[in-house]
């Protein structure tokens, strides 16, 4: 960047109202006006009654800005209002009911206002710290039975809900019983139904009339056998048992379940005050009435627009489509000597007000970030280059080391790059293609098509792995922001082996494998097939084009045609095993290796690929062992073995996780990244200039 550009940028910093305090003696002080946003309470008269109302107001204050002239050294960035944290994002919350919320926006709010039994241990997505439980259960402390089917939690005493109720074990049991019985098809309860009740359908009505009423609340209430309704409720209550006198809650699982703690640590594990919920019109806890609350949908749910937690923040107000505001809980139960994790936040929240505004227009969000009117904003991947011009500091999310930008070290923003996501696109080869497939040409090994079992030959599958140019994919399809994986499990997760083998782009090896396939006839005969992607998905189209180019470069008889299909057609053809090669993706439901190993080796994708039964049996043994093992170290070793088998059999072409980026003002302190997090944990944050 030239000096003129640097000078303009420094001038812009003054306009952006950053409080710059020079570290060198030669500074310039300038009086500026800045906007400070606060939540205030006022007493007003409405219809003859005196009431207290809350308002968000923006006031203009005069401050002295101390700036360092260009070339005079580093600067310090201080927040205009160290008590208020402002976020601009897109996409509103759906519901504040933790039993029902199944979207990241809702979960982000819930996790800052409510608390579960356990929470993640800082940046580690594979270990936990106690929250409303006194300790994290394990076999060593007796909290988990030797057979892995009973989990007992000692509930913390002296914790108050925001509305005044006292936390007791029956609140915990009610929370999970209500969620299981509510069992909305658009909610997260299927994640708990399988380990607790053994229901694989994802619905609590599985045993009622053979599941005929799944997702049908009217039919359930009108036609279900009353005895069956009561039996299901009693089964739920027997599975989650509170003992107020002993101060415990016990989960009696239907089977050992390694991901159980991971499931409880998410937002749907947040604890509800039973008495308060009933006052709001929620389920009364009776087995005679639960069906009246089954599958309500967020629009009909009693707790969708209200929330009462035990967390460090309380909801001040939510204006749908516009904003929600959180305020610090002045009576938060954590004292200064009770950090969330070792060295973590404790005591009263440092930030007193959090304002999350819904701003769908990127230009408006970008302008606010430039002007210092927001601590952070949602930045789409395509717009990152714009924001990069204002980044003065780059930070590593693993080491927390920050490095000044060499071109503009005094720029106002900080960037955390390379954040691994929880989604991935991969290439799936079908072992047993449907004979009626229109995507395999002649259906013969005659140069004009492929036979239906073309990918049953391991050499063909390995060739596809070697012919994938992974670096080009990351650069062209992911804008250079991706990290390769070596198996179904993603980086940063229990069971991912950083030293595990992976295929590298090697055209010579690709040609060698093709020459060994099908008794060596392919180099002379050739093949022709189609790779499909869903229309409009440029990332998946790029993958197909890379494979097309690679195979054509080693032999012009290796012909790959690319076909874009509308999503419904693509999905139907995928499910029917008509597509020989598919480029598709997966995003996790819970941050646990089971949620990756199962669909990729025995579940969703294995079925659509038509994996041979003997191979599926090998994977199934490992998947079952992994999900039923509660010891993290033993689980990791099982998944190492599973990923080795996955590599050796080359059943898929594993690509890369997309990596994210966070941009924030350089006065923000304490942010950290945990893979799988729904949003920021505001309790850990503070702003420079505050106490």
- Over residues 493-509, the pLDDT tens digits come to 899 999 999 999 999 99
- 18-22, 191-195, 224-228, 444-448: least confident range: 18-22
Report CA-CA distances (Å) from 324 to 6, 93, 305, 309. Answer: 37, 9, 11, 16
Domains 104-108+116-300 and 422-658 share a fold: no
pLDDT tier, 691 (very low <50, low <70, confident <90, very high otherwise)? low
- Over residues 6-61, the pLDDT tens digits come to 333 333 333 333 333 333 333 344 444 444 444 444 544 433 444 444 444 445 54
- In CATH, 104-108+116-300 is 3.90.76.10: yes
- Tokens encoding 401: 């080391």
- Over residues 393-403, the pLDDT tens digits come to 999 999 999 99
Q: Which contiguous run of DSSP H or E holds residue 393?
A: strand 391-395
- Over residues 638-671, the pLDDT tens digits come to 999 999 999 999 999 999 998 889 999 999 999 9
- Tokens encoding 243: 């003992």
Section 243-249 average pLDDT: 98
65 pLDDT more than 90: no
DSSP structural state of residue 375? S
- Which of 18-27, 70-79, 210-219 tops mean pLDDT? 210-219
DSSP structural state of residue 449? B
Residue 106 half-sphere exposure toward CB, CA atoms < 13 A: 22
> Whole-angstrom Cα distance, residue 248 to residue 134?
10
- 45-54, 87-96, 630-639: least confident range: 45-54
Smallest Cα–Cα separation from 54: which of 287, 266, 248, 326? 326
Answer for the pair 106, 267: CB distance below 8 angstroms, yes or no.
yes
Smallest Cα–Cα separation from 262: which of 510, 527, 495, 509? 495
Q: What is the pLDDT of residue 59?
A: 52
162 pLDDT more than 80: yes
pLDDT tier, 429 (very low <50, low <70, confident <90, very high otherwise)? very high
Answer for the pair 294, 183: CB distance below 8 angstroms, yes or no.
yes
Q: What is the pLDDT of residue 380?
A: 84
According to DSSP H, which parts of 292-441 are helical? 362-371, 384-388
Section 73-90 average pLDDT: 89
Residue 397: partners with Cβ closer than 8 Å, 6 or more residues away: 123, 416, 418, 419, 672, 673
Q: Which residues pair with 377 in a beta bridge?
A: 88
84 pLDDT more than 90: yes
The CATH architecture that domain 422-658 belongs to is: Roll (3.10)
> Whole-angstrom Cα distance, residue 681 to residue 265?
14
> Whole-angstrom Cα distance, residue 85 to residue 376?
9
Spell out the domain ranges in the chain.
1-77, 104-108+116-300, 422-658
- Pairing state of beta strands 353-358 and 84-89? parallel
Section 103-127 average pLDDT: 95
Rounded to the nearest 5°, which phi and psi values hold at 4? -60, -40
Q: What is the pLDDT of residue 25?
A: 34
Mean pLDDT, the chain, integer: 89
Q: Which residues pair with 153 in a beta bridge?
A: 249
Q: What is the pLDDT of residue 587?
A: 84
Burial 143-159 (b: 16+ CB within 10 A, else e): bbbeebbebbbbbbeeb
User: Could you give the angle at the alpha carbon of 108 between the alpha carbons of 395 and 357, nearest 5°?
Assistant: 85
> Whole-angstrom Cα distance, residue 397 to residue 501?
25
């Amino acid at each position: 960047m030239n000096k003129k550009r640097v000078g303009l940028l420094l001038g812009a910093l003054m306009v952006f109202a950053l409080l710059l305090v020079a570290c060198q003696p030669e500074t310039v002080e300038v009086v500026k006006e800045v906007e400070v946003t606060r939540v205030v309470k006022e007493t007003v008269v409405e219809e003859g009654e005196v009431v207290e109302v809350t308002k968000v107001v923006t006031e203009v204050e005069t401050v002295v800005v101390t700036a360092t002239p260009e070339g005079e050294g580093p600067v310090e960035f201080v927040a205009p209002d160290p008590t208020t944290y402002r976020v601009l994002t897109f996409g509103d919350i759906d519901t504040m009911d933790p039993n029902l919320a199944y979207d990241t926006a809702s979960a982000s709010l819930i996790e800052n206002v409510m608390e579960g039994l356990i929470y993640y241990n800082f940046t580690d997505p594979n270990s936990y710290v106690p929250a409303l439980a006194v300790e994290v259960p394990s076999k060593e402390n007796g909290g988990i039975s030797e057979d892995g089917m009973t989990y007992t939690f000692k509930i913390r005493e002296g914790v108050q809900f925001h509305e005044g109720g006292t936390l007791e074990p029956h609140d915990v049991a009610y929370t999970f019983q209500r969620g299981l019985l509510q069992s909305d098809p658009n909610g997260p309860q299927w994640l708990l139904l399988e380990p607790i009740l053994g229901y694989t359908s994802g619905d609590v009505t599985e045993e009622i009339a053979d599941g005929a009423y799944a997702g049908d609340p009217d039919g359930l209430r009108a036609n279900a056998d009353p005895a069956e309704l009561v039996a299901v409720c009693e089964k739920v209550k027997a599975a989650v048992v509170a003992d107020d006198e002993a101060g415990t809650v016990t989960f009696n699982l239907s089977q050992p379940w390694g991901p159980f703690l991971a499931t409880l640590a998410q937002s749907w594990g947040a604890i509800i005050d039973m008495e308060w919920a009933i006052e709001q019109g929620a389920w009364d806890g009776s087995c005679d009435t639960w069906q009246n609350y089954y599958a309500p949908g967020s629009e009909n749910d009693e707790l969708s627009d209200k929330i009462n937690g035990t967390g460090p923040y309380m909801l001040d107000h939510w204006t749908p489509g516009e904003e929600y505001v959180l305020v610090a809980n002045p009576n938060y139960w954590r004292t200064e000597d009770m950090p969330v994790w070792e060295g973590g936040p404790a005591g009263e929240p440092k930030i007193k007000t959090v304002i999350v505004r819904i701003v769908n227009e990127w230009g408006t969000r970008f302008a606010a970030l430039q002007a210092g009117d927001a601590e952070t904003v949602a930045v789409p991947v395509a717009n990152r280059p714009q924001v990069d011009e204002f980044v003065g500091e780059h930070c590593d999310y693993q080491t927390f080391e920050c490095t000044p930008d060499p071109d503009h070290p005094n720029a106002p923003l900080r960037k955390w790059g390379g954040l691994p996501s929880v989604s991935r696109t991969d290439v799936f080869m079908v072992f047993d293609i449907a004979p009626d497939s229109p995507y395999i040409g002649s259906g013969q090994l005659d140069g004009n098509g492929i036979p239906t079992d073309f990918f049953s030959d391991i050499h063909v599958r390995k060739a596809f792995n070697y012919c994938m140019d992974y670096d080009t994919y990351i650069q062209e399809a992911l804008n250079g922001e991706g990290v390769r994986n070596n198996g179904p499990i993603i980086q940063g997760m229990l069971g991912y082996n950083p030293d595990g083998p992976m295929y590298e782009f090697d055209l010579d090896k690709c040609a060698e494998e093709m020459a060994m396939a099908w008794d060596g006839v392919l180099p002379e005969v050739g093949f022709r097939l189609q790779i499909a992607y869903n229309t409009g998905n440029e990332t998946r189209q790029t993958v197909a084009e890379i494979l097309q180019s690679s195979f054509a470069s080693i032999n012009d008889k290796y012909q790959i045609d690319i076909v874009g299909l509308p999503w419904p057609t693509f999905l139907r053809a995928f499910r029917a095993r008509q597509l020989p090669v598919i480029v598709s993706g997966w995003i996790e439901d819970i941050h646990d290796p089971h949620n990756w190993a199962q669909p990729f080796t025995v579940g969703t994708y294995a079925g659509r690929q038509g994996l041979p039964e003997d191979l599926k049996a090998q994977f199934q043994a490992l998947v079952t062992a992994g999900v039923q093992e509660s010891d993290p170290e033993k689980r990791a070793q099982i998944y190492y073995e599973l990923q080795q088998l996955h590599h050796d059999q080359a059943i898929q072409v594993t690509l890369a996780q997309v990596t994210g980026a966070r941009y924030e003002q350089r006065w923000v302190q304490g942010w950290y990244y945990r893979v799988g997090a729904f949003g920021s944990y505001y309790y850990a944050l503070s702003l420079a200039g505050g106490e």
